[in-house]
Amino acid sequence: PQLANQIAAGEVVERPASVVKELVENSLDAGATQIELEIEKGGSKKILIRDNGSGIAEQELVLALSRHATSKISSLADLEQICSLGFRGEALASISSVSRLTLTSKPAAQDKAWQASAEGRDMAVQVRPAAHPDGTSIEVLDLFFNTPARRRFLRSDKTEFSHIDELIKRLALSRFDVSWSLSHNGQQVRRLPAASTAIARQKRLAALCGRQFAEQALWIENQYDQIRLSGWILPAAACQGQPACQYSYVNGRMMRDKLLNHAIRQAYGEQLSAEQQPAFVLYLELDPGEVDVNVHPAKHEVRFHQARLVHDFVVSALSDALQQLAA
């Protein structure tokens, strides 16, 4: 199983930031409202995540570390209507096959915490009692220690950490209700308290996208049928010199989607010169059955069943808003 898991890891675990993404998504799926990350040496030495989510019961720990074991999907019908961020059930197994992974967890209903790790070629899971508050901690040490070819592909600690920081930024922009903390080599890099008021949200937006964006971006909300678009968009006139803040989410998942980017660019139209970059933080929501997220394990792509409709809706929603502003 170790080799099979390592091959699967090739798909999901490209670098420390991909590990962080899988771990954070698991915490969010578990309903966590507090997520703390401690990173050492760009994540190649240590990635530690702590959450206050629902936890994993003692008897589920072995399963959580096994490949193709997911608690999130039980039928084909579920696969057509994915609402959780994870669904393949292979992230933890993959990560633990290319690192030294320890999982410690305590569901609120259980009076003691338990810890698990999988070792050796047979990936035998050892379970032992531990001390831990409600929630889950996962520690990933020495990423790629047993796959030297992959390890050689890692860039400098600084570069790897910047990928992690960018990821946390993107996640924090999609979950204002969650408090985030991120440290590197013992130094706190980000501390973002949960933001439940408009003022607190504005503050987080300024911390992540800059003061200029937070002050000048326009909040929009638009709905057509079952499709909803909301978020912030910067007027073309303010796009000059703006370090481009370009973030879009589909049903809460971060996306780099060609169709959406094309629609956004088209909405600015002539207002935007060739040197100017659009800046936006946009959330598209639609019936989960209308979008396929099961395109690739890295999951940055989606397929819309009604691509044309989605595209045209985004263009019209944004160009209306931008035109009103420019006028």
Q: What is the full DSSP assignment across 299-323? A: ----EETTHHHHHHHHHHHHHHHHH
Q: What angle do CA 26, 32, 35 make, to 5 degrees?
A: 85
72 contact, one of ligand ADP, Mg ion, none, CB 5-8 Å limit per kind? ligand ADP
Residue type, 99: S
Cα(69)–Cα(106) distance, integer angstroms: 19
Do residues 322 and 271 make contact, with C-beta atoms less than 8 angstroms apart? yes
Q: Which of 160, 295, 285 is nearest to 228 (CA)?
A: 285
Please state the closest distance from residue 121 (CB atom) to ligand ADP, in A. Answer: 20
Q: What is the DSSP letter of 33?
A: S
151 contact, one of ligand ADP, Mg ion, none, CB 5-8 Å limit per kind? none
Nearer to ligand ADP, 66 or 248 (CB): 66
| Count of residues in contact with ligand ADP, rule CB under 6 A | 22
Place of tokens 């993404």: 21
Which among 13-21, 49-57, 222-230, 293-301 is the span making contact with ligand ADP, rule CB under 6 A?
49-57
Query: What residues numbered 197-236 form the site for ligand ADP, per CB under 6 A?
Result: none
6 binds ligand ADP (CB under 6 A): no
171 binds Mg ion (CB under 5 A): no
Query: What residues numbered 23-42 form the site for ligand ADP, per CB under 6 A?
Result: 26-27, 30
Please identify which residue in 8, 20, 35, 56 interacts with ligand ADP, judged by CB under 6 A: 56
b/e sequence 257-281, b meaning 16+ C-beta within 10 Å: bebbbebbeebbeebbeeebbbbbb
Cα(42)–Cα(235) distance, integer angstroms: 36
Nearer to ligand ADP, 59 or 223 (CB): 59
User: Which helix (H) or strand (E) is 18 found in, with range?
Assistant: helix 16-29
In sign, the C-alpha dihedral spanning 266, 291, 89, 31 is positive
89 contact, one of ligand ADP, Mg ion, none, CB 5-8 Å limit per kind? ligand ADP
Please identify which residue in 5, 6, 18, 26 interacts with Mg ion, judged by CB under 5 A: 26
66 binds Mg ion (CB under 5 A): no
Nearer to Mg ion, 72 or 265 (CB): 72
| Count of residues in contact with Mg ion, rule CB under 5 A | 3
Cα(188)–Cα(268) distance, integer angstroms: 38
Query: What residues numbered 80-99 form the site for Mg ion, per CB under 5 A?
Result: 86, 91
Nearer to ligand ADP, 175 or 264 (CB): 175
**Residues in the site for Mg ion, rule: CB under 5 A?**
26, 86, 91
Catalog residues that contact ligand ADP under the rule CB under 6 A: 22, 26-27, 30, 51, 53-56, 64, 70-72, 86-93, 136
